[in-house]
Amino acid sequence: MSLPRIHVHAGGRYLITETGDPFFWLGDTAWELFHRLTLDEAGHYLDARRQQGYTVIQAVILAELDGLHTPNANEHVPLCGDDPARPNPFYFRHVDAIIRLAAGKGLYIGLLPTWGDKVCEELWGAGPVVFNRENARRYGHFLGQRYRDDANLLWILGGDRPAAGYETLWAAMAEGISEGMGRRPFFTYHPMGGASSSASLHEAGWLDMNMLQSGHVMFDAPNWEMIAADYGRRPAKPVLDGEPNYEHHPVDPYLRQWTPALGRYTGYDVRKQAYRAVFAGACGHTYGSHSVWQMWTPAREPVNFPMPSWDEAIYAPGAAQLVHLKALMLSRPYFSRIPAQELLPDVAPTPPVGDLETDRYTQRRASHPRATRCANGTYAMVYFPLAEQTLRVDLQALQGQVRAWWYDPRNGKAHPAGEYPNEVVAFTSPIAGPDWVLVLDSMVQAFGPPGF
């Protein structure tokens, strides 16, 4: 299957296919896909994500978990002598096959040429550091030339590392990829936890989209504030959270030993981060499962207490529910959507995150709602993270009389919620839940129920 290439929309905020259709980045972090799975296993995983409505699979060629020295499922390592200028053709044939298998299933690959531990030695990771500016360009040229005809690639440089101090190396790799492809493809950058690519790269000419990693440290990490900050930068670039809290990941904000004693992130935690980020202005969102990113089975050494095995985890509640976010966004005019927190006159800005052990604002982050609307006043949406939560919503930005719906983010069903004048109205989310989306449509428009 030949997929259309992805570009940044002329407005600078969202993504669009070359055929003119909105593209909602619904990603999954399958970092070890090329390194750990057989082709049959990869096909099973990709089938599940296709059926669940995902659009982008984020995967790494030179993987994090000893990706240079532990062979892949076919017993091949990626480089000869740890030299990026000497790629092993047998390893790359497996990468080729998975990329093309994904294309045949209608999926894009968010392709990381390498995890960051092969570039930056100051932080954790098996490494070893093998890149310099010269061989980064050569390796990039090799990749670009090899995949110049694969339209389903969205290039992600970085890999859980800050770009500061390495800007010229990453730029050289991007230049090599572009030269090899004979054109400049789509690029973004995956930073370390709690950071955004914008910190060092926002004005880089090769960077098309900012990506942030809100990470796995605490409940309700305010990724919506990070999104809003990048949304406000100039020049305008799309932004999304490329690694939020993983479903199944242990919650341990205090000792950072990542034991499951305090529980694990759930589908509810996943939904909260996704809806609030998108309503703050993101062009999509990436899901993650703690078992899936590492493709863990009981036969493998675990990283931070994964559970269950990857082939069970792919069917987790949160993994199956985010398609309803994509459906909701695409059911209303897409490119005219803007953040609209001003619709919630009683909601204060999110307090800053303090010391995690004494943070007084945990509950305020947990209950924090987020609003978005069409710039032309045809619709608005408000995410209520709690059941029976009452919010006053200012409908004056909408055209005329308003029809309301309660949209269930667990199953994508829409429930009529009455008609209202365009004034300030108090809404209380249903008792079931816990979370809901209030969809507000101008009755001047002939919108059907939200979602698919």
Q: Which of the pair, 426 or 126, is modelled with greater confidence?
A: 426
Report the Cα 163 to chain-centroid distance in Å. Answer: 19
Q: What pLDDT score does 410 carry?
A: 98
Query: Which one of 308, 330, 352 terminates a domain?
Result: 330
Q: What pLDDT score does 266 carry?
A: 97
Q: Is the pLDDT of residue 357 over 60?
A: no
Residues forming beta bridges with residue 345, ordered by sequence position:
none
Question: Structurally, how many domains does the chain consist of?
Answer: 2
What CATH number should be reported for the domain holding residue 388?
2.60.40
Residues 320 and 413 placed together within one structural domain of the fold: no
Amino acid at 62: L
Q: What pLDDT score does 437 carry?
A: 98
Residues 187 and 276 placed together within one structural domain of the fold: yes
Q: Is the pLDDT of residue 335 over 90?
A: yes
The average confidence (pLDDT) of the chain is: 95
Q: What pLDDT score does 121 carry?
A: 75
Residues 354 and 301 placed together within one structural domain of the fold: no
Q: What pLDDT score does 351 carry?
A: 72
pLDDT band at 77 (very low <50, low <70, confident <90, very high): very high
Q: What pLDDT score does 208 carry?
A: 98
Which of 144-158, 164-178, 258-272, 322-336 is the least confident region? Answer: 258-272
Q: Is the pLDDT of residue 211 over 90?
A: yes
pTM (predicted TM-score): 0.96
Cα 58 from Cα 110, distance rounded (Å):
4
Residues 142 and 286 placed together within one structural domain of the fold: yes
Residues 136 and 168 placed together within one structural domain of the fold: yes
Residues 319 and 345 placed together within one structural domain of the fold: no
Which of 2-6, 338-342, 361-365, 430-434 is the least confident region? Answer: 361-365
Residues 342 and 305 placed together within one structural domain of the fold: no
Q: Which of the pair, 334 or 1, is modelled with greater confidence?
A: 334
Amino acid at 322: L
pLDDT band at 253 (very low <50, low <70, confident <90, very high): confident
Q: Is the pLDDT of residue 147 over 80?
A: yes
Average pLDDT over residues 226-253: 95
Q: What pLDDT score does 354 carry?
A: 61
Q: Is residue 449 part of a domain?
A: no
**pLDDT per residue over 102-137, tens digit each?**
999 999 999 999 999 999 876 777 889 999 999 999
**pLDDT per residue over 370-405, tens digit each?**
999 999 999 999 999 999 999 999 999 999 999 999
Q: Is residue 225 part of a domain?
A: yes
Q: Is the pLDDT of residue 333 over 90?
A: yes
pLDDT band at 350 (very low <50, low <70, confident <90, very high): confident
Distances (CA, A) of 327 to 167, 258, 333: 37, 34, 12
CB 210 within 8 A of CB 188: yes
Residues 344 and 292 placed together within one structural domain of the fold: no
Residues 371 and 256 placed together within one structural domain of the fold: no
Which of 78-82, 200-204, 353-357, 423-427 is the least confident region? Answer: 353-357
Q: What pLDDT score does 1 carry?
A: 63
Q: Is residue 450 part of a domain?
A: no
Q: Is residue 262 part of a domain?
A: yes
Q: At residue 10, what are phi and psi to the nearest 5 degrees? A: -55, -30
Query: Which one of 330, 347, 366 terminates a domain?
Result: 330
Distances (CA, A) of 214 to 63, 291, 341: 21, 18, 20
Average pLDDT over residues 81-109: 98
Residues 215 and 87 placed together within one structural domain of the fold: yes
Nearest CA among 297, 218, 233, 368 for reference residue 41: 297
**What residue numbers bound the domain in which 203 lies?**
6-330
Find all residues with CB under 8 Å of 189, minimum gap 6, and list them. Answer: 156, 157, 158, 163, 170, 197, 201, 207, 210, 211
Query: Which one of 330, 361, 379 terminates a domain?
Result: 330
Q: Is residue 216 part of a domain?
A: yes
